[in-house]
Structure 1
Amino acid sequence: MKIGILQCDDVRDDLQPAHGNYPAMFEQLLHHADDQLELVFYRALDGELPADVDECDVYMTTGSRHGVNDDLPWIPPLLAFIRELDARQKKLVGICFGHQLIAKALGGKVAQASQGWGVGVATHDLMALPDGVQPMAAIPDALSLVVSHQDQVVKLPDRAVVLAGSDFCPYAMIQVGPHFLGIQGHPEFSKPYSKDLMLARKASLPAEVLDNGLTSLQKPVDAERVTRWMLDFLRNT
């Protein structure tokens, strides 16, 4: 399977020596699950997008420090590309910023949440599994992933089904039709990276949010499980 990964940001320069950039994070995550996957990266943040949606079998997006409502020249073409993927029913998994791109591109709404920053490990109630997932054991009641966001999906697009959510983030995982999966959390983020990112943003985070976020890193995460679900979804026909 050839996965086109739409890169929407770079990891901060001061954190790259320890944690790498987004391509390295996604390579580690996805090749750990399946070392036969072919990954092609497009620097969407520089305006680089596939010339045709059929350049790759399926697509994924990275997160971003930017917001989908920011007035940046590369965001409208990316939204248009996502709408083209939707029209062609081409598979896409959106991570964090990408999750929000899916919602905005298809008529939903994204806004800065009144709940404030979500950082550290967040746990959401799991209501249903994405299409194509073959659970290897009993389906869990909840799902935990590293998160890092201020914005949230606040209005769902048409055809969206909520798969996981919580009081803090009601639309933490959604599916739109048989071809789009959006996940607010970051399966590609390690706990050490989450810690360093929180500390790097210390001036922007309320002290209580930072303390709770750092403490939450003691909780287990479901990154490997979610990665398998993403790949099951992308392979499902």
Structure 2
Amino acid sequence: MSLHICILEADDLHPSLEPRFISFGEMFKRLFYRQTQAVEFQVFNVVRGEYPKLGQHFDAYLVTGSKADSFSDEAWVVRLRDYLRGSYLRGDVLLGVCFGHQILALALGGVAERSDRGWGIGVHRYQVEYKPQWLPDEVDEFQLLISHRDQVTVLPKNARLLARSDFCANAAYVIGEQVLCFQGHPEFTHDFARGLMHLRQSVYCPEVYQAACHSLACEHDGSSVARWMLAFVKAAKQSRTKISDHRSSSARNKESACTA
């Protein structure tokens, strides 16, 4: 089953990072392609006002990270929140990472705000709180590269907590078969995280920065999280196909009964 995923790219690389690293949308494409070739992408940079055309449909819509605040009044952020709220009401499958995780929570009735815990950077470990069918039974925890000081402090009412940590209480959540979000960055590489941390070093507490630098010696589970995301989207697509087939079969049966 081939999947078609729309990537809503919510940031551009800092100019000093551009010569060495690919864009955020390309990071996700490369991450997912390492898991399967049965997936196609289209990237829209929402900061520049790019969105899918009316009537264009994808199996899932993924919102990337961003240096912007999800609760910002910037015009492009307000438009994105409205777009995601409408997408959810239309029944679209939505994925969010970091900023995407936060703005989806906001759009769907939760709360995201500046955390009093300060910056989280480096490799961070999370504990799994809930295991949907697409999550392997043996997974009790996972690690991801992170870079954030905003957090989801209140989940949307119909959301279920998927993973947490002492630093980030709402680190991942799901809403039925329609929404899956992670605070951490499965798409980041250690080299990119190191470059981003060096760029922002002046805003970090020195002890936090040193601990984060040491944490980069640890592996992270970005590939696993990518597989979970793909499994989530595939399961949602299969479920919708079954419902559609059932409705079509029922309609044909009714038509046959009327003409008998």
| 1:78-107 alpha-carbon deviations (Å, 9 max, x no partner) | 111111121122111101100001110011
- What displacement does 1:116 show? 0.6
CA contact (8 A) 1:61 1:98 kept: yes
SS of residue matched to 1:75: helix
Distance 2:177 2:27 in 1: 27
1:9: how far off?
A: 0.1
CA distance in structure 1 between the partners assigned to 2:222 and 2:212 by the alignment: 17
Structure 2, unmatched stretches of 5+, are 240-260
Q: Which amino acid aligns with 2:141?
A: A
Q: How many residues align?
A: 234
Conserved? CA contact 1:124–1:165, under 8 Å: yes
TM-score of the aligned structures, taking structure 1 as reference length: 0.94
Whole-angstrom CA distance in 2 between matches of 1:36 and 1:175: 24
Q: Which is higher, the Rg of structure 1 or of structure 2?
A: 2
Inter-partner Cα distance in structure 2 for 1:177 and 1:103? 14
Normalising by structure 2, we get a TM-score of 0.86
TM-superposition CA deviations, 1:148-177 (whole Å, max 9, x none):
001000111110100100111010000023
Q: Are residue 58 (structure 1) and residue 60 (structure 2) matched?
A: yes
- Identify unmatched segments of 5+ residues in structure 1: none
- Give distance in 1, aligned partners of 2:53 and 2:23: 24
2-side partners of 1:36 and 1:141: how far apart? 28
Moved over 4 A (4+): none
Instruction: Tell me the CA shift for residue 141 of structure 1.
Output: 1.8
Residue 133 (structure 1) aligns with: 134
- Is it true that 1:191 corresponds to 2:193 in the alignment? no
Query: 1:118-148 deviations in whole A, cap 9, x for unaligned?
Result: 100010111223x45152xx52221100000
In terms of mean alpha carbon deviation, does 178-187 or 74-83 score higher?
A: 74-83
Give, in whole Å, the separation in 1 of the partners of 2:140 and 2:232: 19
Whole-Å Cα distance in 1 between the matches of residues 103 and 88 of structure 2? Answer: 12
**Counterpart residue identity of residue 213, structure 2:** L
Greater relative CO (CA pairs within 8 A, separation 6+): 1
Q: Secondary structure at the match of 2:88?
A: helix
**Identity percentage of aligned residues:** 35
**Compared with structure 1, are the counterparts of its residues 185 and 134 closer, same or farther at alpha carbon in structure 2 (3 Å cutoff)?**
closer
